[in-house]
């Protein structure tokens, strides 16, 4: 399968949050077999080496793959960031990441955004990553990042977006400023599967509630990175790429927003929009 893009970022990829050891290896192996070519990991996930091993064993040409990783807060300092990305690239068995993100906006202010964003831009200049971006950044954080990075483009802001947390203010700002968003937890940790509205829409399309949620996010221009450890779910999720929701479907999903945030670690989370 060719990697369809939103700008310079794949529309659809495999997320690997909470997947470790043999579990992540099996998931990536099955995904590759099904045609997945974009993979999202992070230093903090503790699975870069396992993913790298499976990618190397797969025989899939590097040119067909899109690999995203994220810098974890303990590595934000100028002294650590570039070296830590070197370590990540080595674990992944690649010459450079396709995309590297700052995982959270600030580790309790211990390292200033000017320091870690400038260091990330330096890593790009050194060829350790082809693109850079951010994750969990608010509107104010994005404004600040833009000011610090200048002409260096922000490829994406990876944030929690699902039918129960539609993040409308951030989405509107990103659209106006032409900043791409990647939705994580698009399936709301499985909650969408039991939703009556999503299941009704799914039934009308001969689809699943999970496919509807993924298609809903992609129709807004967001990339998605759902994860699964089951082959049938990996295969089913991928079919969301071919699902086209109607304007009426999208309008029915809009009122499901209830501001339900699932990823909100107290030691890392910013003051959300």
CA torsion through residues 259, 6, 117, 14, sign:
positive
Where do the DSSP E strands lie in 61-153?
A: 66-71, 97-102, 129-135
Distance of CA 188 to the CA centre of its chain: 14
DSSP SS3 for 55:
helix
CA distance 209 to 216: 10
In the set 36, 45, 76, 164, the catalytic residue is 45
Q: At what angle do helices 196-205 and 209-219 cross, to 10 degrees?
A: 90
Q: For residue 128, what are the contacts with CB-CB under 8 A and spacing of at least 6?
A: 82, 85, 86, 89, 96, 97, 100
CA torsion through residues 98, 15, 182, 100, sign:
negative
Q: For residue 246, what are the contacts with CB-CB under 8 A and spacing of at least 6?
A: none
* Residue 45 bears catalytic tag: yes
Q: DSSP code of 165?
A: B
Which residues belong to the active site? 45
């Amino acid at each position: 399968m060719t990697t369809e893009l939103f700008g310079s970022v794949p529309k659809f990829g495999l997320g690997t949050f909470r997947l470790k050891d043999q579990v992540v290896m099996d998931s990536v192996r099955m995904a590759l077999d099904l045609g997945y070519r974009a993979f999202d990991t992070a230093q903090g996930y503790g699975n870069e080496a396992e993913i790298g091993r499976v990618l190397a064993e797969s025989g899939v040409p590097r040119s067909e793959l899109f690999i995203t990783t994220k810098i974890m807060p303990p590595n934000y300092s100028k002294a650590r960031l570039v070296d830590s990305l070197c370590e990540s690239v080595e674990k992944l068995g690649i010459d450079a990441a396709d995309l590297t993100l700052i995982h959270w906006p600030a580790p309790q202010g211990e390292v200033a955004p000017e320091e870690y964003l400038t260091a990330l831009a330096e890593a790009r200049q050194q060829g350790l990553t082809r693109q850079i971006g951010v994750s969990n950044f608010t509107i104010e954080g994005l404004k600040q990042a833009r000011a610090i990075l200048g002409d260096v483009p922000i490829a994406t802001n990876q944030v929690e977006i699902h039918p129960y947390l539609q993040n409308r203010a951030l989405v509107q700002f990103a659209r106006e400023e032409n900043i791409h968003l990647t939705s994580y937890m698009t399936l709301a940790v499985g909650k969408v599967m039991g939703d009556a509205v999503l299941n009704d829409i799914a039934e009308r399309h001969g689809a699943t509630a999970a496919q509807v949620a993924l298609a809903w996010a992609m129709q807004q221009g967001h990339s998605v990175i759902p994860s699964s450890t089951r082959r049938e779910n990996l295969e089913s999720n991928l079919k969301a790429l071919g699902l086209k929701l109607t304007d009426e479907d999208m309008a029915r999903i809009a009122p499901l927003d209830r501001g339900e945030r699932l990823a909100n670690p107290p030691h890392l989370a910013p003051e959300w929009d």
